[in-house]
Structure 1
Amino acid sequence: MHKTTLEQWRMFKAVVDEGGFNQAASKIHKSTSSIHHAVSKLEDTLGVKLLVVKGRKTSLTDIGQVLLHRAQYLLEEVSRIEAVADFLSSGVETELRIAVDAAFPQDTVFQALEKVSALFPQINIDLIDTILSGANELLAEGNVDIALSPLPMNNGLNDELCCIEFVAVAHKNHALHQLGHELSVENLRSFRQVIVHDSAIQNKTDAGWLGAKQRWSVSHLHTSIKLVENNMGYAWLPLPAIKDALSEGTLKRLQLKDGGSRRVSFYLNYFDKDRVGPAAREFMGELRLSTMDMSNSET
């Protein structure tokens, strides 16, 4: 039989998080005396001192610091168990929230969602366009259920789906095409580069070559493509998004000695297999099949 309770650990953590017993009482809607009693009982049961109170300041002891670290894992796991139980009791989810990096082939996502919608017509779909770290940030904050991202997550589940080729391109009449020789990085520096900046709020990421003396940064991939199609700069763009423009001759690849193209892995990121509902599982399965077919067609 356990000597301590989850409620005692919750109250102990609340005191640490809020900086004192009174603050914790206001936060978790308990009386100050009940929190004092719970923490004192925890200390007596364990035979250690967890907190030191000096005036209005409450501080962790060294032992308290070690046990708080362990308690956080315990409380987080209990929260996950409760969330999974709530999720399983609700049956099929009513909403599927997906963050999709703008460079990921949209048609592939749309086709997978169409099949999901046919099986689960009652489900609402919420698609959010992102760039670079943006999809993973939304997932980490609990604002989406699934992220399709060029970046894996350190503390999540990452399924590598496919590789997307990014190619350096400019309008067919761009001056870089008129130089008459293979291009070097030095040739590019004097011309305007168009880049799409990270949609994340925190911990933004830069990607690709950023060596141009003049850069225009935009928020959407579509804007970047339009600027390049209007001969207002060059860019590295995802091949699936500009195939038509290349075949029609509106855009041309830049003849770079090195780095004219690069392949980027894209990941299906999520947190907990047990919290993936039937509709989400169907979407993930369709996406894996579609990207597998896409990879096979490239080989």
Structure 2
Amino acid sequence: MLDALSLDQMRMFLTVAEAGSFRAAALKLGRVQSAVSHAIAKLEDTLGVALFDRRGHRPVLTPEGKALLVHVRDVLLRVDAMRARARGLSGGVELELGLTVDVLFPPRLVGAALAEASETCPSVAIRLSAEALGGPITALLEKRSQLSIIVGESFRDPRIAMEALTSIDMIAVVAASHPLARASGPLDAAALADHLQIVQFDRSPLTGERDIGVISPRTCRVGGQDIKQAMILAGLGWGRLPGWLAAEDLAKGRLVRVGTGALGRRAQLPMEAYLCHRLDEPLGPAACSFAAALARLCAGPQDRPEPESGVRARP
């Protein structure tokens, strides 16, 4: 009986579960509601279990439905990945390479990898954007980019393949003129909370109500790392910057490390950077060329001052 299962039925089941009703699923799939209801009923008959409790205003997943939904989602992800692989094997050079880069990742590495990819695929146009926090993953989920570079572990998604590239050191810094720079002895989190913290806000919906890395109740929320750096240099407050961005100001004494062990040794914490793409979307020759160049640049020796560089190649 299970041989009678179809991918179409499974997609309808997944869509109803995610949309919350047969009507909403039908609109999303471009089908009539009766066709969706019939397909789910046939699937339930084939499986021998009820997937939804229909007694209320909206269908609710039964315990059996919740258990099987995990398997259905996994099957569909694998099928989509296989189709993407097949399209990639048969496809030609893409017209445009869309890339979204986390603002914490060093742009010089991106530029060097794009230059190599452009030599391999000179006809391909490049669309490059920089976004913070959940932005790079959202760009993939919304199919605005073929590739994204993310930094950190907060935005994993089962539809996204991730490959580690390198480590970015985030350093808690403050202007040399700020009171925190003159504080004696190690500072704890409570002492940091007494001062304004400069933090990056997220334009994507992925963070929801979460505050990532925010310690102080008093914050200045900014839209980019360049303005964040400028506000910290101006003495407005303290904040964390990627080491590659803070290195020159630290070396010249315009910035100093915050004297705390609450944010890692020497006020420094490593965050892993990943190159990401959708499992169900094939990567064309230009995307593959960029990915290979970036991985090589991140893994190879790099001319960086230590210890203030803030970028370390993956072992």
Contact 1:53–1:59 (CA under 8 A) maintained in structure 2: yes
Q: For residues 150-205 of structure 1, give each alpha carbon's deviation from its aligned partner in whole angstroms, at most 9, with x where no partner exists.
A: 234252433222222222222222222334x2341244333221111234312345
Q: Tell me the residue number matched to 2:288.
A: 281
Note the 1:3-152 alignment, pairs <5 A.
4=4, 6=6, 9=9, 13=13, 16=16, 19-20=21-22, 24=26, 27-29=29-31, 46=46, 48=48, 70-152=71-153
Q: Which runs of 5+ in 2 are unaligned?
A: 307-311
* Deviations 1:65-110, CA, capped at 9 Å, x for gaps: 7666655544454444444444443312222222211111111111
What do you get for the CA RMSD once the two structures are aligned?
3.9
The residue that corresponds to 1:184 in the other structure is 187
In structure 2, the partner of 1:256 is 260
Which of the residues 155, 167, 177 maps onto 1:173? 177
Check whether the contact 1:170–1:229 (CA below 8 A) recurs between aligned residues.
Answer: yes
Distance in 1 (alpha carbons) for counterparts of 2:162 and 2:24: 42
Deviation by residue 1:115-165 (Cα, 9 ceiling, x = unmatched): 111221111222221222322233234332222112342524332222222
- Of 164, 167, 192, 1:160 maps to 164
> Match of 2:4, SS?
coil
TM normalised by structure 2 equals 0.74
Tell me whether 233-242 or 246-255 shows the greater mean CA deviation.
246-255
Q: What do residues 3-39 of structure 1 show as CA deviations (whole Å, max 9, x unaligned)?
A: 526376268649956745998499545695x778877
1:242 and 1:234 map into 2 onto residues whose CA distance is 13
Q: Please, what TM-score do these two structures have when normalized by structure 1?
A: 0.77
CA contact (8 A) 2:163 2:275 kept: yes
The 3 A distance-change label for structure 1 pair 273 and 177 is same
Offset of residue 112 of structure 1: 0.7
Q: 1:4 to 1:230 in 2, by over 3 A?
A: same
**3-state SS of 1:202 partner:** coil
1:241 deviates by: 0.7
State the distance in 1 between where 2:301 and 2:277 align.
Answer: 22
Moved more, 119-128 or 23-32: 23-32
Identity %: 24
What's the counterpart of residue 207 of structure 1?
212
Q: Tell me whether 74-83 or 129-138 shows the greater mean CA deviation.
A: 74-83
Q: Structure 1: give runs of 5+ residues left out of the alignment.
A: none
